[in-house]
């Protein structure tokens, strides 16, 4: 500090500006770092100005601004006249550090010294505690402030509302809202934003819109709070509507605004909307940052928009974002979900500092593609690199073993998770084990495991068992699992459809009719199959039985040609996968319009011969379509990748990577 002090004093003398009570506070006000502040402090001490009230106050506030609380405390203790301003500043400083005990202690000392706190003191205490993440302490401070007769101003209310939202004390928030109305600051920009944020955190979506429409504030802060609040409460349609209104009104939104709405769409299943918004964001000259990229990449992954994902990859490379572990991990996940597991591994290997998320993304990618050996190998490498596996890691590894039929290996990892790593299995691990055992045909053992679970099995567990019963045609256990699922998830149509499938495969048409009547009585309809395929940088979405696509005539014609060719090669549609007792020709027609077939037909007529096709499906691929893809890949000479809800199926030369085990 002496060296800094001497250098500074030498400089000041050289330019003929000796330290004085006016120059030092000005220098302190613009001081950027603690070392220089301490040098200026030394200069003040050497020149005898450190005791000057104006200089001392400037030193106090500078140290607090730079986070040097202990230095600030030292300056304050040496001040002969401790005013309410100094006390308030120091209390706020300790509050901002989250040191509630020290802050309250200073408040008591302040009163003992005969100095009464004012609104600024209380505001500093509440806002400081809130900024430090001590939301509960901030709310307690607010309650005590009110109890002592102090009424917060707009600034204090804004900070208090933020803390109330964090602890989800909506009743306190409503009281503050009432106070805001009475105090006449309900139209204050910061108060409006804070109210929206508070109601969003407390799950009061209706109040979010009410506050916004009452104030009609159209600024960037309000927009960001609206999107965040509505997104938290799954009100994505309302968020999109209001965001469009901000855009149409010409409000200058920033990268945070656009990133928030993109993330809102991705988190609520609006992937195509997220892709579209990302493109609009760029067209308006808003450049994505290292937060935007990991937010939008899952949307590209979910709809297999590989070209968009590659563009985001190139952009990240140009901007130097690839060193960000979250960007790298999101790219790994995107490439894996788009069927490019080798590209995913290249990105993974290039991440300079991997975390658990990175390892899990790559292990999960291998699991999704049925590459159990690579998943297990990477899991071993993860441990050699001293990276501790977590709950997700074991879900991926056990899931990979299940996909490949590695029953004993899966058992071993389930045991190691508990005994070697101290991780108690959760619902998802039991679901993986039920799937592992079920797919190996050990249905009774899977059922026994469910009955031995230390907690009540959820829909995921029973769903895993029901799926395995479908593979092996076990009607008895299927009915047991389905009955549980109907209790736990009465409106999940997939469970009814799966049980109906099992009955249909056994030609138990009374059972099919019973399930159909049950669905009809409950007003349930089977979820439509939907598939996505990217062609020439555009994502096409096709629904089963839907004729709205502009190229549907050509698609239908191609499907007819494929049907003729497949029949010539000896392929017969597997009508076991249709849910109704209808005539065989009608069954053939139903199977012909499954969404993945429509997507593949579109790909065949829209791309050059030999071009690989990638399709994403929202439901599990049926056995008929699986067989059809094998035939198509052979006589069309195409590699076809289909990602369903379970895994990837890579079809080539008449074979599938799953080995017909899925």
Tell me the two tokens of residue 8. 């500074």
Stronger pLDDT, 546 or 517, i.e. the higher one: 517
The answer to whether 544 and 590 are in contact (CB under 8 A) is: no
Domain boundary among 471, 503, 527: 527
pLDDT averaged over the chain?
A: 88
Q: pLDDT higher for 299 or 134?
A: 299
**445: in domain:** yes
Alpha carbon distance 395, 593 (integer Å) = 35
**Pick from 562, 567, 554: which is nearest to 597 by CA?**
562
CA distance 375 to 38: 54
| pLDDT tens, residue by residue, 225-283 | 999 999 999 999 999 999 999 999 999 999 999 999 999 999 999 999 999 999 999 99
The confidence score (pLDDT) of residue 455 equals 92
Q: What is the pLDDT of residue 42?
A: 85
Nearest CA to 433 out of 453, 454, 459 is that of: 453
Asked if residue 448 is part of any domain, the answer here is yes
For every residue of 30-91, DSSP letters joined together read T--SHHHHHHHHHHHHHHT-TTSHHHHHHHHHHHHHTT-HHHHHHHHHT-SS--HHHHHHHH
CATH number of the domain enclosing 437: 1.25.40
CA triple 649-566-531, angle to 5 deg = 40
- For 42, 433, 438, the CA distances from 402, given in Å and listed in that order, are 69, 8, 9
What is the length of the chain? Answer: 662
Q: What number is the average pLDDT over the span 102-116?
A: 91
527, 544, 575: which is the final residue of a domain?
527
The Cα–Cα gap between 423 and 428 comes to 13
Are 166 and 137 within 8 A, CB to CB?
no
Domain match, 570 and 637 both: yes
What is the percent of the chain where pLDDT is above 90?
55
Domain boundaries, position 449? 425-527
Q: Which two structure tokens, joined as six digits, stand for 175?
A: 């009281």
Q: Give the H/E segment covering residue 656.
A: strand 655-656
Q: Do 540 and 612 reside in the same domain of the chain?
A: yes
Long-range contacts of residues 379-386, Cβ cutoff 8 Å, at least 24 apart: 385/354
Q: What are the pLDDT digits (tens) for 316-328?
A: 999 999 999 999 9
Residues 6 or more apart whose Cβ sits within 8 Å of residue 5: 39, 42, 43, 46
Residue 167 lies in a domain: no
Indicate the helix (H) or strand (E) that contains 564.
helix 552-568
The percent helix, strand, coil of the chain (3-state, each to 5) is: 70, 5, 30
- pLDDT digits 0-9 by tens, 282-321: 999 999 999 999 999 999 998 888 999 999 999 999 999 9
> 544 and 620 share a domain?
yes
**Mean pLDDT comparison of 167-171, 202-206, 329-333, 488-492, highest-scoring range:** 329-333
| Residue 62 · residue 70 · CB < 8 Å | no
Q: DSSP string of 433-493?
A: HHHHHHHTT-HHHHHHHHHH-SS---HHHHHHHHHHHHHHT-HHHHHHHHHHHHHH-TT-H
Q: Do 623 and 555 share a domain, yes or no? A: yes
Q: Do residue 482 and residue 534 come from a single domain?
A: no
pLDDT at 417 (0 to 100) = 95
Exposure pattern of 12-24 as b/e (b: 16+ CB <10 Å)? beeeeeebeeebb
Residue 603 belongs to a domain: yes
Asked if residue 253 belongs to a domain, the reply is: no
Question: Hunting for tokens 């109906």 — which residue is that?
Answer: 500
Neighbours of 10 (CB within 10 A): 9
Q: Which of 22-36, 310-324, 411-425 has the lowest mean pLDDT?
A: 22-36
Tokens standing for residue 640: 């076809």
Is residue 507 located within the same domain as residue 551? no
Q: How does strand 613-617 pair with strand 640-643?
A: parallel
Counting the structural domains of the chain, the total is: 2
Residues 588 and 470 placed together within one structural domain of the fold: no
Paired tokens of 71: 């230095």
Q: Do residues 454 and 539 both lie within one domain?
A: no
Q: Are 632 and 564 in a shared domain?
A: yes
Structural contact between residues 569 and 635, judged by C-beta atoms closer than 8 angstroms: yes
Q: Work out the average pLDDT over 114-122.
A: 89
Cα gap 478→580, rounded to integer Å: 18
Has residue 228 been placed in a domain?
A: no
**Of 466, 496, 527, the domain-final residue:** 527
Tell me the C-alpha to C-alpha distance, in Å, between residue 163 and each of 126, 128, 131, 325, 391. 8, 10, 9, 30, 31
Same domain? 550 vs 647: yes
Q: What is the dihedral of CA 199, 202, 205, 209, to 10 degrees?
A: 0
CB 167 within 8 A of CB 152: no
Report the helix count and the strand count for the chain, using DSSP H and E.
35, 6
Paired residues of 641 in beta bridges: 614, 650
Residue 240 maps to a domain = no
According to the model, what pLDDT value does residue 574 have?
54
Predicted local confidence at residue 592, as pLDDT? 52
List, in sequence order, every residue forming a beta bridge with 534; answer none if it has no partner: 539
pLDDT of 2 reads 46
613 forms beta bridges with: 640
The CA-to-CA distance between both ends of the chain, in Å, stands at 69
pLDDT, average across residues 455-474: 92
Q: Is residue 378 part of a domain?
A: no
- HSE (CB half, 13 Å, CA atoms) of 660? 7
Question: Tens of pLDDT along 138-197?
Answer: 888 888 888 888 877 888 788 888 888 888 889 888 988 998 888 777 778 889 999 999
pLDDT of residue 19: 61
Q: How far is CA 480 from CA 436, 446, 465, 469, 486, in A?
A: 19, 13, 10, 10, 10
611 and 645 fall within a common domain? yes
pLDDT attached to residue 6: 47
534 and 429 in one domain?
no
pLDDT value at residue 528: 80
Q: How far apart are CA 566 and CA 588, in angstroms?
A: 13
**Closest residue by Cα to residue 370 from 70, 657, 8, 43:** 657
């Amino acid at each position: 500090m002496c060296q800094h002090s001497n250098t500074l004093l030498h400089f000041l003398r050289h330019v003929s500006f000796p330290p004085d009570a006016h120059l030092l506070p000005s220098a302190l006000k613009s001081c950027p770092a603690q070392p220089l502040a301490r040098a200026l402090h030394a200069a003040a001490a050497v020149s005898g100005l450190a005791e000057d009230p104006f200089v001392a106050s400037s030193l106090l506030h500078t140290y607090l601004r730079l986070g040097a609380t202990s230095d600030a405390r030292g300056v304050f203790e040496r001040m002969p006249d401790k005013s309410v301003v100094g006390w308030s500043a120091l209390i706020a400083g300790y509050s901002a550090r989250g040191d509630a005990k020290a802050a309250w202690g200073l408040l008591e000392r302040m009163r003992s010294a005969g100095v009464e706190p004012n609104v600024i003191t209380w505001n500093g205490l509440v806002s400081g505690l809130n900024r430090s993440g001590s939301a509960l302490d901030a709310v307690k401070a607010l309650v005590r402030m009110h109890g002592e007769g102090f009424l917060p101003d707009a600034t204090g209310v804004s900070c208090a509302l933020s803390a109330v939202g964090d602890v989800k004390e909506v009743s306190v928030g409503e009281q503050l809202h009432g106070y805001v109305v009475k105090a006449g600051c309900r139209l204050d920009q910061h108060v409006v934003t804070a109210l929206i944020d508070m109601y969003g955190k407390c799950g009061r979506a209706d109040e979010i819109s009410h506050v916004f429409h009452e104030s009609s504030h159209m600024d960037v802060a309000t927009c960001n709070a609206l999107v965040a609040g509505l997104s938290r409460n799954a009100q994505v349609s309302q968020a999109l509507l209001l965001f469009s209104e901000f855009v149409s009104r010409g409000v200058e939104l920033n990268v945070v605004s656009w990133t928030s709405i993109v993330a809102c769409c991705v988190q609520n299943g609006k992937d195509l909307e997220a892709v579209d918004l990302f493109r609009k964001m760029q067209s308006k000259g808003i450049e994505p940052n290292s937060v935007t990229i990991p937010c939008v990449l899952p949307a590209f992954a979910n709809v297999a928009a590989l070209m968009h994902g590659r563009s985001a990859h190139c952009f990240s490379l140009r901007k130097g974002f690839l060193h960000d572990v979250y960007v790298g991990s999101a790219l790994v996940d995107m490439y894996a979900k788009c069927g490019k597991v080798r590209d995913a591994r290249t990105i993974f290997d290039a991440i300079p500092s991997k975390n658990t998320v990175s390892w899990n993304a790559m292990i999960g990618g291998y699991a999704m593609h049925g590459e159990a050996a690579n998943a297990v190998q990477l899991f071993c490498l993860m441990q050699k690199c001293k990276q501790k596996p977590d709950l997700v890691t074991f879900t991926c590894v056990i899931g990979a073993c299940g996909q490949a039929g590695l029953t004993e290996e899966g058992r071993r990892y389930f045991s190691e998770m508990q005994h070697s790593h101290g991780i108690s299995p959760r619902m998802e691990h039991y679901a993986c084990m039920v799937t592992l055992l079920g797919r190996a045909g050990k249905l009774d053992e899977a059922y026994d495991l469910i009955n031995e679970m230390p907690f009540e099995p959820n829909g995921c567990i029973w769903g895993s068992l029901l799926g395995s019963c479908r593979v092996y045609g076990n009607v008895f256990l299927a009915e047991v699992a389905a009955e549980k699922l109907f209790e736990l998830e009465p409106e999940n149509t997939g469970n009814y459809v799966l049980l109906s499938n099992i009955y249909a495969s056994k030609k138990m048409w009374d059972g099919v009719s019973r399930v159909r009547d049950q669905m009809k009585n409950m007003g349930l309809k089977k979820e439509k199959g939907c598939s996505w395929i990217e062609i020439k940088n555009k994502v096409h979405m096709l629904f089963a039985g839907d004729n709205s696509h502009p190229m549907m005539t050509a698609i239908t014609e191609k499907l007819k040609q494929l049907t003729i060719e497949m029949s010539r090669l000896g392929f017969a549609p597997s009508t076991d996968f249709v849910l109704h007792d209808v005539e065989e020709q009608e069954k053939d027609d139903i199977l012909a319009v499954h969404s993945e077939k429509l997507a593949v037909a579109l790909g065949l007529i829209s791309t050059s011969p030999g071009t690989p096709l990638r399709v994403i499906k929202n439901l599990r691929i049926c056995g008929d379509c699986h067989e059809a893809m094998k035939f198509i890949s052979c006589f069309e000479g195409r590699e076809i990748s289909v990602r369903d809800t379970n895994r990837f199926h890579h079809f080539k030369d008449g074979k599938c990577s799953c080995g017909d085990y899925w």
